[in-house]
Amino acid sequence: MLHTFQGHDLGFLKMVAGGWGIELNAPDAYTAMPQLAQALLDRVLIKDQLETLPTGARAALDELLEHEGRLSWAIFTRRYGEVRVMGAARRDRERPDLKPASPAEVLWY
């Protein structure tokens, strides 16, 4: 899971943590990554999140699971929408974690 978070800034990691109801108190991304990864291993938290996923996002996740996490990005985005490309400033301003544009974006954040 740490590999998934590499290359992301602290703002992104805090958005992911917030979406899972995790309070992330870290001074930088390097420190935040293992904290977030460890917190996301909580089975009760995972169960709660799965139960609250919107229908489209749950369908997207189910399809990924059916294909063992291997589905081409082109097919995935055609079915479940794009993840908008934004820099940190735009992301922090627009808060796509709170206003996702697609089921794919729900899963991203």
**Residues 36 and 76 placed together within one structural domain of the fold:** no
Domain total in the chain: 2
pLDDT band with cut points at 50, 70 and 90 for residue 2:
confident
For residue 98, what pLDDT is reported? 97
Rounded CA-CA distance 91/88 in Å is 5
For residue 97, what pLDDT is reported? 96
What single-letter amino acid sits at 67? H
For residue 3, what pLDDT is reported? 85
User: Which residue do the tokens 């799965």 mark?
Assistant: 50
Domain final residue pick, 52, 78, 93: 52
pLDDT band with cut points at 50, 70 and 90 for residue 42:
very high
**Residues 47 and 74 placed together within one structural domain of the fold:** no
Rounded CA-CA distance 38/32 in Å is 10
- Which residues constitute the domain of residue 92? 54-109
Q: What is the pLDDT of residues 54-106, one digit of tens each?
A: 999 999 999 999 999 999 999 999 999 999 999 999 999 999 999 999 999 99
User: Which residue do the tokens 């996490």 mark?
Assistant: 69
**Residues 59 and 107 placed together within one structural domain of the fold:** yes
For residue 62, what pLDDT is reported? 98
**Residues 38 and 58 placed together within one structural domain of the fold:** no
**Residues 109 and 98 placed together within one structural domain of the fold:** yes
Short-list 2, 5, 9, 1, CA closest to 29: 9
Q: What is the pLDDT of residues 10-33, one digit of tens each?
A: 999 999 999 999 999 999 999 999
Tokens linked to 42:
């909580």
What H or E segment, with its residue span, contains residue 106?
Answer: helix 103-108
**Residues 6 and 42 placed together within one structural domain of the fold:** yes
For residue 58, what pLDDT is reported? 98
Determine the average pLDDT of the residues in 38-57: 96
